[in-house]
Amino acid sequence: MKKKNCWEAKKCGREPGGKNADKEGVCKSALPGLYDGVNNGKNQGRFCWAVAGNICLAEVTGTYSKFIKCVSCDFFKKVHDEEGTDFIHKPSDIKKEKPRSVK
């Protein structure tokens, strides 16, 4: 089963080319950024709670006060369940790859 990104699960239509993108704007979670691929998402779509300035339920999120709402979100819980022990909760949980030596 394909893991859904936030815009697919929430059906907000705020992804590029989505039904609401022209009139309401594209959400930052649906665009490439710092957290591309985290929790196996497309762009930042499975780490939306950490994306400053994302738009969820017509409310700009990504600040600490709004993050409290995110942890009770059904999508956040779904990603947590699907990722299991590999779930990345916050940016500091992202493991940095060691630089590869050039030969």
Per-residue pLDDT of 24-80, as tens digits, reads 889 999 999 999 999 999 999 999 998 887 877 656 655 554 677 788 899 999 999
Domain coordinates in residue numbering, the chain: 6-88
Q: pLDDT at position 52, please?
A: 82
Tell me how far apart the terminal alpha carbons of the chain are, to the nearest angstrom: 40
Distance CA 92, CA 59 (A): 25
**In this model, does residue 98 exceed pLDDT 60?**
no
